[in-house]
Structure 1
Amino acid sequence: MTDTRAAWDTYAAQRPERRPVNARGESTWFNWTQYEDHGPGAELLELAPGSRALDLGCGKGGNAAHLATLGMTAVGIDVSQAQLRAAEKRWGSLPGLVLHQADAVAFLRETDDVYEAVYSVYGALWFTDPALLLPAVRERLRPGGVLAFSQRPAVEGCYGCQASYIPRGADEDPLVVKRWDYEPQTWERLLKWHGFTDVRAHVLPAPAGRRTVGTLIVQAHRSSHTRIQGRPPVGA
């Protein structure tokens, strides 16, 4: 079975560094999509200066670093030491940025901290069983706090737990990690069942060009009520 940390360390070596500046000349920015200078920004998190935000699968730290420059405490976690080394090298001197090497579910279950927002950009919300992760997220969010995440849309007919392949050398088999793919309406039902409200899930189209795959973006708020009892939604 693939070692998860080794898989994401391998992935880290294949990912380019974030550009020094974006199209607007900014040295930090928030990006939800797989495309440069496309889509919404940090406003989806509905944060005020002084808020605490948790990045589940922070990678090389660009999004968390941007929140830190806006006056938030931005906590980033990732299982990959290679990703975090890159984050520390570029952003480690920023006040308000805190980085941890940890599994998302384990971190959420072990911490006593609470957050105004929890988010994941092609991160742990895609690569962790939602039956385990969503209850753990809800416990660490303040009532009314925002959960937001983005990932590639599901391939039609391929829903639930799927395999993602991380390539290695030409004569090596790829590393395999699990991901969870659902249609927007299934994510909405699943989040509501786990105690979230005001759930909005949609696919943002790709920018003009040859690439056509959009980005699934989901935003929800933590309800102050206990989650619904019973069986989870069909297909989730």
Structure 2
Amino acid sequence: MTDARSAAWDAYSQSKPQRRQTNAKGENTWFNWTQYADHGPGAELLALNPGDTALDLGCGAGGNLAHLATLGVKAVGVDISAKQLDKARERWPDVDGMELHQGEALAYLGETFTVFDAMFSVFGVAWFTDPALLLPVVHATLRPGGVFAFSQRPPVEGCYGCQASYIPRGPDEDPAIVKRWDYRPDTWCSLLKGYGFPEVTATVLLAPEQDKRTTGTLLVRAVRGDHAHPL
């Protein structure tokens, strides 16, 4: 199953161009939570300081990770797709402070000895992993008071829980199918509080007014409580 998922995300990688050289402000690196360019909040949601350590769950081509590294954060990324990580190394060869790992996020979280100051997922692992499996290990690997934040598309009304995502492959191949988990904002708040994150906000950011698309971005931010939570 891991090989099939890796191949699916390798195929996805080939369909996406590299991040732009600069954004609308002329910045070489930047943080983007949404599927729209130059839209929404930035890295401030993670409440990180220079010297802190952050983990990107499903770092892809590394754009958000590179930005954190330029802020003096130890920026660690894990992704199941080797091709995505190749793109990260190609796009950001001169950025110090980035550490990339290839493999399953749950396996990495179960093996690491690092306690992170923040973890995040931008249309990544938090969307494509059963929260019953992910949230306990995120809680266990995040320092008390640390931030866990993620973004993804909002759910289609009435389609909640485990859903199917279809990733295009070659012209002569059927799409790859991967699972994703969709919930309403209030459900995410309840889930996270149940796993030891007492401070949670979950909102849908509307698409930019000038964009013809209408789908917003679900953005969830949670703060880990002071007490250990049993796995």
What is the TM-score of this pair, normalised by structure 1?
Answer: 0.94
Structure 1: which 5+ runs fail to align? 230-236
Q: 2:212 aligns with which of 188, 207, 210?
A: 210
Residue equivalent to 1:39: 40
Answer yes or no: is the 8 Å Cα contact 1:146–1:220 preserved in 2.
yes
Q: CA deviation at 1:227?
A: 4.1
Structure 2: which 5+ runs fail to align? none
Greater mean alpha carbon deviation, residues 43-52 or residues 164-173: 164-173
The one-letter code of the counterpart of 2:60 is G
Residue equivalent to 1:70: 71
C-alpha distance in structure 2 between counterparts of 1:109 and 1:227, whole Å: 15
Aligned Cα RMSD in Å?
A: 1.3
Answer yes or no: is the 8 Å Cα contact 2:154–2:217 preserved in 1.
yes
User: Superposed, which structure 2 residues align to 1:39-58 within 5 Å?
Assistant: 39-58=40-59
Cα deviation, 1:123-164, whole Å, max 9, x if unaligned, reads 000001111111010111000000000000000000000000
Q: CA deviation at 1:225?
A: 2.3
C-alpha distance in structure 1 between counterparts of 2:208 and 2:229, whole Å: 37
The one-letter code of the counterpart of 2:55 is L
C-alpha distance in structure 1 between counterparts of 2:42 and 2:119, whole Å: 15
Residue equivalent to 1:221: 223
Answer yes or no: is the 8 Å Cα contact 1:195–1:228 preserved in 2.
no
Residue equivalent to 2:107: 106
Residue equivalent to 2:146: 145
Residue equivalent to 2:168: 167
Answer yes or no: is the 8 Å Cα contact 1:64–1:76 preserved in 2.
yes
C-alpha distance in structure 2 between counterparts of 1:79 and 1:172, whole Å: 21
Q: CA deviation at 1:95?
A: 1.4
SS in 1 for 2:166: strand
SS in 1 for 2:86: helix
C-alpha distance in structure 2 between counterparts of 1:103 and 1:227, whole Å: 23
Cα deviation, 1:171-208, whole Å, max 9, x if unaligned, reads 32100000000000000000000000210001000001
SS in 2 for 1:3: helix
C-alpha distance in structure 2 between counterparts of 1:130 and 1:170, whole Å: 33
SS in 1 for 2:223: strand
C-alpha distance in structure 2 between counterparts of 1:94 and 1:23, whole Å: 21
C-alpha distance in structure 1 between counterparts of 2:60 and 2:172, whole Å: 27
Answer yes or no: is the 8 Å Cα contact 1:84–1:101 preserved in 2.
yes
C-alpha distance in structure 2 between counterparts of 1:154 and 1:211, whole Å: 16
Are the structure 2 counterparts of residues 85 and 228 from structure 1 closer, same or farther at C-alpha, using a change threshold of 3 Å? closer
C-alpha distance in structure 1 between counterparts of 2:174 and 2:13, whole Å: 17
Residue equivalent to 1:232: none
Answer yes or no: is the 8 Å Cα contact 2:118–2:146 preserved in 1.
yes
The one-letter code of the counterpart of 1:50 is G
User: Superposed, which structure 2 residues align to 1:94-133 within 5 Å?
Assistant: 94-133=95-134
What is the TM-score of this pair, normalised by structure 2?
Answer: 0.96
User: Superposed, which structure 2 residues align to 1:164-203 within 5 Å?
Assistant: 164-203=165-204
Answer yes or no: is the 8 Å Cα contact 1:193–1:228 preserved in 2.
no
The reply on whether 1:158 has 2:159 as its aligned counterpart is: yes
The one-letter code of the counterpart of 2:153 is R
The one-letter code of the counterpart of 2:83 is A
SS in 1 for 2:32: coil
Q: CA deviation at 1:226?
A: 4.0
